[in-house]
Structures are given as C-alpha cells and as structure tokens.
Amino acid sequence: MAKFIVAPHMRLQEWVAEEKGYFTDEGLDYEFRPLDFAVASIKTAEELPPDQRSGAYQTFEKGRGCDLSSACHWTVNMAAAAGNGRLWGETYSVTPSGIYVHPDSDIRTPEDLANVPITVGYQSGSHYSTIQALEPFLKREEIKLHFGGMLFQRLELLVDQEIPAGNAFGGPLYMVEQLGFRKILDTSFMVAAMISEDTDPEDVRICYRALKRAQADIDLRPELYTHYFKKEFPARFHDIMDTRRFGPGERIVFEPYTQDMYEKTQAWVRQWEIFPADHATETGYTEAVAHGAEVEI
C-alpha cells in the first residue's frame, strides 16, 4: 500500500506534527512532502483573461499530490459536488483573512471600496470571502474584483503598490500587517479538506489525530512555531519578515462540516454565479462528503 502523503499548505499544524513526531506516534505510514509555494511569483497587475485564470478549484480538477488537501470550503464543496474527490466531513478550519490597502491609501472604510478593483485569486478563498464580507456594505454592482493571481502574487502586487487593494490570508496577511498595510475589512473564512476516492478514511482520521495534538501545541505556545511560515514564502521576503510578530494562522475546528453548511454554500455560490450555469453540482451531501459520525476524532 502506498504511503499517505502529508503536504503542508500555508498553515502550521503539519509542520508541528512532523517536528513532534505525532504522525509516527499515531501510527501513520506517511511521506512528508511540502508543497512549493515559495517559487518565484509571476505577478501581473493586468486582469487575467478568463481562459488564463487558475485558482484553487482548478488545482482540484488537475489533481493535488497529497492524500489530504485543503482549500476554502466553497471550492472544496463545489469540487466535491462535481466529482473531483470527496469533502472530508469530520472537521473544517477557519483562517484569518482580510482586504488590505497600502498605508498611504485614501481608502479607509468598506464603503470606500465601492467600484475599486480588489485583487483576489480566481475561484479561491479570497474570491468568495471578499464578496461575502462586502455584501453588508456595497451593492452587488459596486463590488469589483481583479483576478491578478494567487497568494504570493497578490502579496507582491500589494507590497509593490501595483494595485489599490487586495485580499490576503495566512502568512501573507501577517506580512502585510508587519509592513503597516491597513486592513479595511475582515474576510476570515472556512477551509475544508478534500480526499481522493482511493484514500483510506482511517488514515485520514489518524492524520487528524496527529494534527489535533499539534493544534493544542499551537494554541498553547504559538510563538514557538510561527517560524515555519518562512519555509513557504518566496525568498524576496526572507530578510524583511519577522515571524516572531506573526500569529498562529489557520485553526482546525474538530466539528463536522454539516449538510446544512454544504447546501447553504451551494446556494450562495449559485446566487453569485461564480461558476457557469451548467457546472456540475448534482451530487448531494451523502455522496460528496466523506464522514463517519460514529468515529470520535
């Protein structure tokens, strides 16, 4: 049987569990394979044309190189409904996120963002969360999104002052805050996990038992582990980032992703027409979500 592939993805829990030997302690036969988020970004302040846009959803269509892969819950929900894997229903996460502007910007309130292009990742957490957070403040036609790239591309565009506003989460959020960027609106959002059809659910539960132990360590002494963020950043930021000032980032919630969550998310995404009308979403909760309520994590 192939080893279970564990891949950190801009959060601390996998790094801590590996450092402390929790995966081994729990009996997981695994390979630790960090994803290469820290490659040099090809940034562009230009709007990416529709046929060149790529985000979290597209990575699930292509397939991710690990047994347990996480992304914003909207994308995992839609990918599972389209048959690109199964949403893991026994846990979810919450990650801090926000819309940021340069310290010298005249934008100071959410209302000031009316008709301002906000840089987000296409069909990624920043995309959905920006819309959701702005709904109480702006009319639908006043919310303007700029699809300029993924996590570190947005970070570089913000730092280099090539865009008026952008969504940042995880390590990049702490980076822009350290540099004095102003948060206009919190957009914190839920993260869900996807497993492939051939992944053994018992291995997933074992993995999460290790991550639960790591989560307790992070809750108790986050400052001991924030240095791991540096491993996932592009080299251009290494000399200026002070991870002692970073927060703990994404937090795993050991509660189920429920049918109510699944169905309300489907309805919200359809309401905002984020996917084409003919996008496959026929799969119901029972088929799309892997869960075992009888098993305690």
Question: What is the distance between the alpha carbons of residues 213 and 39, in angstroms, rounded to a whole number?
Answer: 30
pLDDT at 10: 87
Give the residue-averaged pLDDT of 223-250: 96
Give the residue-averaged pLDDT of 128-150: 95
Helices 73-81 and 259-271: crossing angle in degrees, nearest 10, is 90
Mean pLDDT of all residues belonging to the chain: 89
Give the residue-averaged pLDDT of 185-192: 97
pLDDT over 50 at 294, yes or no = no
pLDDT at 82: 87
What percentage of the chain has pLDDT greater than the value 90?
A: 69
Looking at the domain assignment, is residue 113 inside a domain?
yes
Better-predicted residue by pLDDT, 35 or 211: 211
Give 284's DSSP letter: -
CB neighbour burial string for 177-188, b if at least 16 within 10 angstroms, e if fewer: bbbebbbbbebe
- Specify burial of residue 295 (Cβ count, 10 A radius: 0-12, 13-18, 19+): exposed
Which tokens in the block code for residue 222? 């986050």
Looking at the domain assignment, is residue 16 inside a domain?
yes
Better-predicted residue by pLDDT, 135 or 9: 135
| Cα–Cα nearest to 283, from 87, 127, 59 | 87
Give the residue-averaged pLDDT of 192-218: 94
Question: What is the distance between the alpha carbons of residues 148 and 54, in angstroms, rounded to a whole number?
Answer: 10
Looking at the domain assignment, is residue 296 inside a domain?
no
Looking at the domain assignment, is residue 143 inside a domain?
yes
Looking at the domain assignment, is residue 297 inside a domain?
no
pLDDT over 60 at 155, yes or no = yes
Give the residue-averaged pLDDT of 223-234: 95
Which tokens in the block code for residue 34? 């960090």
pLDDT over 90 at 185, yes or no = yes
pLDDT at 238: 95
What percentage of the chain has pLDDT greater than the value 70?
A: 86
Q: In total, how many domains does the chain have?
A: 1
Domain residue limits at 86: 4-290
Looking at the domain assignment, is residue 69 inside a domain?
yes
pLDDT at 61: 47
| Cα–Cα nearest to 230, from 77, 10, 58 | 10
CATH number of the domain enclosing 255: 3.40.190.10
Give 3's DSSP letter: P
| Cα–Cα nearest to 195, from 77, 93, 66 | 66
Looking at the domain assignment, is residue 116 inside a domain?
yes
CA distances from 154 to 18, 74, 100, 109, 157 (A): 29, 20, 11, 21, 5
Looking at the domain assignment, is residue 295 inside a domain?
no
pLDDT in tens, 272-291: 998 887 776 678 899 989 87
Mapped onto helix, strand or coil, the DSSP state of residue 31 is: strand
User: Rounded to two decimals, what is the model's pTM?
Assistant: 0.90
pLDDT in tens, 78-127: 989 888 889 999 999 999 999 999 999 999 999 999 999 999 998 899 99
